[in-house]
Structure 1
Amino acid sequence: MITWNNLDTLEAFKNLSKAERVNIAEAMSGENGAERVKTYSTPMAEGLAYNYAAKQVDDKLLEDLQKLADEAQLTEKFEALYNGEVINTGEKRMVLHHLTRGQLGEAVNADGTDKRAFYKEQQQKIADFANKVHAGEITNAAGEKFTTVVQIGIGGSDLGPRAMYLALENWAKKNDTFKMEAKFISNVDPDDAAAVLYGIDVAHSIFILVSKSGTTLETLTNESFVKDALKNAGLDASKHMIAVTSETSPLAKSDDYLAAFFMDDYIGGRYSSTSAVGGAVLSLAFGPEVFERFLNGAAEEDRLGTEKDIRKNPAMLDALIGVYERNVLGYPSTAVLPYSQALSRFPAHLQQLDMESNGKCVNRFGERLDYVTGPVIFGEPGTNGQHSFYQLLHQGTDIIPLQFVGFKNNQMNTDVVIQGSTSQQKLCANVAAQIVAFACGKEDENRNKNFEGGRPSSIIIGEQLNPETLGALLSHFENKVMFQGFVWNVNSFDQEGVQLGKVLAKRVLAHETDGALKVLSDLMNI
């Protein structure tokens, strides 16, 4: 039987708090460091590996983390989730994003249908639609092919799909699977929509409106912006727009759209990149086959999430080390540092994924917690970040754990040799150097040039960023966040924290304000 208990009530956590601290600088120096790098590595799906040699762990601590995983029943809770139990207690819903890419356990039925079959049906409808667009069977009013797809959405309807598109854009161009350029409109700031619309040929563009409820204010506002642009160009908007929404929304059977593809309440926005939310734009941009490969990579990594042994379950291991860093070592934030320009928006996606999921101060039952939960997440691709905020990471007063991502080969398979090495070799040399520099530091009599070291990091290493490895990478972090939520006993699948500002904004627009809100509204000329 599964029990949901606060972290500070678990015996394994109490023992973990007493564990001897690992000195990373010593552990990562000389031959000890060489052996650690070889030993403290866990295989992931699709040839990736999670290497945690530069984390403050040793074999004894790993034993303690295993005991915590067992006592917190992490694999049992994951099993309950993918078998359709109501894990989202705040909204009294199942959590089914794993079903968009594979069946991990029993058949899950809801709303009178097999949910795996429902998600596959939507994926097939999207694939059929995308293939017709690419073949010129679905065209604009002039019978000409669409060349650009524009996604209109906000939050999880934008951040994940945008990050995934950018991650595969160059790969697709190099591998002759690039079908259509994709653009994204998310911010209600009119400059966002205007910038996109001024930069495309609207007559040859197809627009995807993404709104589960069909009532999202920012998204509907941007839809009106787009419809005006189409009307001004003498175009029928209904021949240029499709919807990704729920079956019960006002968009589902509207004549304003060429087609509608469905999602449901069991998949939160930040977990929706493998649903129709990501499927429509990615299938149109790269072809359905590429989206299918992306799903397969995620499914392979999901299967590793069912392993009870943390050394065989990279997402769970990553999660537990993160809990140790947050709740025992007291580190307040985590930097995500991909050494791949293709992952330029991946840290932004992880900000939402992690902070919207686990930024909670009450447990699953609404009771105030006496310990900290989700860390602040931020990041930027290397090597750009090295010339930006790494100063604080190396010599600042806070120790900030680091999560690197790196690939041995670039996506375009083109490079130049400068001063005896290629650009890719320079990139990889930098990430290797940073891991050791953060861990070991460097003594100097000049205090300004002294590096204390002791700064923990991990790295996910792969051969190349492609659809399969991207899917595995996405799944790793989704499952990491899930496992941490289980340990902290929070509901990682609602987001009440985004609601209050929306409610007050509606009051401002209705001129139903007083006090500070009225004065601020007047200052903003509303």
Structure 2
Amino acid sequence: MAVEYKNLTECSRFKALQKCNMFSFEHFSEERIRKYNVKGAEYQYNYAAKQVDDSILSLLFELAQEQQVKEKFTKLANGETMNTGEKRMVLHHALRGQLDTAVVQDGRDYHAFYREERERCADFAEKVHSEQITGSTGKPFRTFIQIGIGGSDLGPRAIYLALKPYVDSIEGNATRRKVGFISNVDPDDAAVQLADADPEHTLFILVSKSGTTQETLTNAALALDWLSRGGIRDPKKHMVCVTSESSPLAQSSEYLDSFFIDDYIGGRYSVSSAVGLCILFLAFGKEVPSQFLDGMHAADALIYKAGVESNPALIDALIGVYERNILGYPYTAVLPYSQALHRFPAHLQQLDMESNGKQSNRSGAALNYSTGPVIFGEPGTNGQHSFYQLLHQGTDIVPLQFIAFAQSQIGRDIEYASSTSQKKLLANLAAQIIAFTMGKASENPHKVFKGGRPASVLYAKKLLPSVLGALLSHFENKVMFQGFLWNINSFDQEGVQLGKVLTDTVLNNQASPLLRSMADLLFEG
């Protein structure tokens, strides 16, 4: 069957959705909580507190079929050119396993290539841990610091922090392995990360696919200078590179080692490549990152197995499009009730907004409807004492995406005031969902909660590495499906380029008078 690409507003099911009546939370019930729940790979997705009913869902499912989203996913997974702006394949799913046919182009089997790089990262980490590979003075590496920005920082950092208790649980490593990240070109960022590090025991992971990223190369130079000032005579032997095979970094044999990615892996989709795996294998060893990848692959594979009604990532995507284009909500809050996920919303912010913040369709024609929402979030219960005031009583309705786990990750807890910390955490979450949806009447206008704030929750028993992988895959695939529904290219990011170009004109003394005036104002302080 031929695959057709058309704008959302050209779809008959979208036009039918525009005529539907909005679901009223007056019909919220215990039965609905049980009914609108779907099992994913390693987690479950409950959307009972969303503003949809059976008639709306039926049209949304038909919209997915009309836009042929599963067929488009198959084309993507099989290596067809789905990044229309850059005329490239999109292969991040292949990083964690083969879904359908092998992807072979110009004699290269990309599944085999990604598998080989993954194994090289794991083998390198094992040699570092066993002290077969040491620093230039013969001392073992104990501190690992990743230098990267954007997709080379946000994803790996979020995943490492989410799984950090597993570092502490590795016998003998609680005080030995330390992991840090330098991303901001602000030198204060590097200063904080290097303050307690010992040059003889420090290994840097320099991540730049192009090998030309200005902020990253500046920070790499700063790190090499720090090593030299610390007495390291051969500082590049304390640095490995994650880059493309054609980048300037790949041409240098001065570094300790190099691991490769390619142009078919977008930065924000690169956690499961050497971009994320090099630092994760160094931090955890082989088992934890492998379980993480298994969870990602299981969630990817579910797309092939599940029907539209049983695919949590697709349902999430469809409801998100309904909220954006029918209900007109421009924001989405991601609210993990897990401190381990405190940087997860920051990664999802880039994943979603860089992918679907587009104003033209796949062919370059201007769109006459909204695309990606603004994404923000903080962990609960911290956020409850911050921006939840606006979420409850503000003039804008903000759809809410909660994440929760029945058990704490570390497993240590105490009982206080007749309940444990974890029970208090989850009680807060349950109460928030009902408060957001049902609201509360009052004679005092300052205490009126209108309710009608839609919410969903992704939940599992415990934040295991495989569960985290499945959750990340859920969001990657949600973003992909929404791109298909909106008929946009979710895999380029031209919007970040203009600022980079203008920055270079300032630094090379080629800026326009207007830009020079603004820069001089800032330089003078």
Indicate the TM-score class for this superposition, using the shorter chain for normalisation. Answer: over 0.9
CA–CA separation in structure 2 for the residues paired with 1:71 and 1:383: 40
Equivalence for 2:371:
373
SS in 1 for 2:168: helix
Alignment deviations for residues 330-388 of structure 1 (CA, whole Å, 9 cap, x no partner): 00100000000000000000000000000001001111000000000000000000000
Shift of 1:256: 2.4
1:124 equivalent in alignment to 2:119 = yes
Equivalence for 2:396:
398
Shift of 1:303: 1.1
* TM-score (ref. length: structure 2): 0.97
CA–CA separation in structure 1 for the residues paired with 2:106 and 2:222: 34
Q: Which amino acid aligns with 1:132?
A: K
CA–CA separation in structure 2 for the residues paired with 1:175 and 1:458: 35
Are the counterparts in 2 of residues 171 and 466 from structure 1 also a CA contact under 8 Å? no
CA–CA separation in structure 2 for the residues paired with 1:165 and 1:123: 17
Q: How does 1:231-246 map to 2 (within 5 A)?
A: 231-235=228-232, 236-246=234-244
Q: How does 1:313-332 map to 2 (within 5 A)?
A: 313-332=311-330
Q: Which amino acid aligns with 2:4?
A: T
Equivalence for 2:342:
344
SS in 1 for 2:456: strand
Equivalence for 1:43:
39
Identical counterparts, % of pairs: 59
CA–CA separation in structure 1 for the residues paired with 2:47 and 2:200: 50
Match of 1:499 among 497, 520, 523: 497
Alignment deviations for residues 111-170 of structure 1 (CA, whole Å, 9 cap, x no partner): 421000000000111111000000111111332211111000000000000000000001
Are the counterparts in 1 of residues 166 and 284 from structure 2 also a CA contact under 8 Å? no
CA–CA separation in structure 2 for the residues paired with 1:231 and 1:480: 46
Equivalence for 2:76:
81
CA–CA separation in structure 2 for the residues paired with 1:89 and 1:338: 34
CA–CA separation in structure 2 for the residues paired with 1:140 and 1:502: 35
SS in 1 for 2:250: coil
CA–CA separation in structure 2 for the residues paired with 1:396 and 1:467: 37
Shift of 1:199: 2.7
Alignment deviations for residues 11-31 of structure 1 (CA, whole Å, 9 cap, x no partner): 01001111121012x122xxx
CA–CA separation in structure 2 for the residues paired with 1:219 and 1:347: 23
Q: How does 1:59-458 map to 2 (within 5 A)?
A: 59-174=54-169, 176=171, 180-235=177-232, 236-307=234-305, 309-458=307-456
Gaps of 5+ in 1: none
SS in 1 for 2:190: helix
1:514 equivalent in alignment to 2:512 = yes
* TM-score (ref. length: structure 1): 0.97
1:478 equivalent in alignment to 2:476 = yes
CA–CA separation in structure 1 for the residues paired with 2:309 and 2:337: 25
CA–CA separation in structure 2 for the residues paired with 1:189 and 1:175: 33
CA–CA separation in structure 1 for the residues paired with 2:105 and 2:125: 28
CA–CA separation in structure 2 for the residues paired with 1:256 and 1:398: 55
Alignment deviations for residues 449-474 of structure 1 (CA, whole Å, 9 cap, x no partner): 01010000000011111110000000
SS in 2 for 1:87: strand
SS in 2 for 1:251: helix
Shift of 1:307: 4.7
Change beyond 3 A, Cα 1:398–1:470: same
Alignment deviations for residues 314-345 of structure 1 (CA, whole Å, 9 cap, x no partner): 00000000000000000010000000000000
CA–CA separation in structure 1 for the residues paired with 2:396 and 2:293: 38
SS in 2 for 1:406: strand
Are the counterparts in 1 of residues 153 and 183 from structure 2 also a CA contact under 8 Å? yes
CA–CA separation in structure 2 for the residues paired with 1:326 and 1:174: 43
CA–CA separation in structure 2 for the residues paired with 1:523 and 1:398: 36
Q: Which amino acid aligns with 2:27?
A: A
Equivalence for 2:27:
27
Are the counterparts in 2 of residues 363 and 489 from structure 1 also a CA contact under 8 Å? yes
CA–CA separation in structure 2 for the residues paired with 1:111 and 1:198: 47
Are the counterparts in 2 of residues 66 and 309 from structure 1 also a CA contact under 8 Å? no
SS in 2 for 1:245: strand
Are the counterparts in 2 of residues 78 and 306 from structure 1 also a CA contact under 8 Å? no
Change beyond 3 A, Cα 1:417–1:290: same
Are the counterparts in 2 of residues 304 and 312 from structure 1 also a CA contact under 8 Å? no
Q: Which amino acid aligns with 2:495?
A: G
Q: Which amino acid aligns with 2:355?
A: S
Equivalence for 2:460:
462
Gaps of 5+ in 2: none
Q: Which amino acid aligns with 1:456?
A: P
Shift of 1:253: 3.7
SS in 2 for 1:415: coil
Report how many aligned residue pairs link the two structures. Answer: 520
Shift of 1:203: 1.7
CA–CA separation in structure 2 for the residues paired with 1:202 and 1:488: 50
Shift of 1:233: 0.7
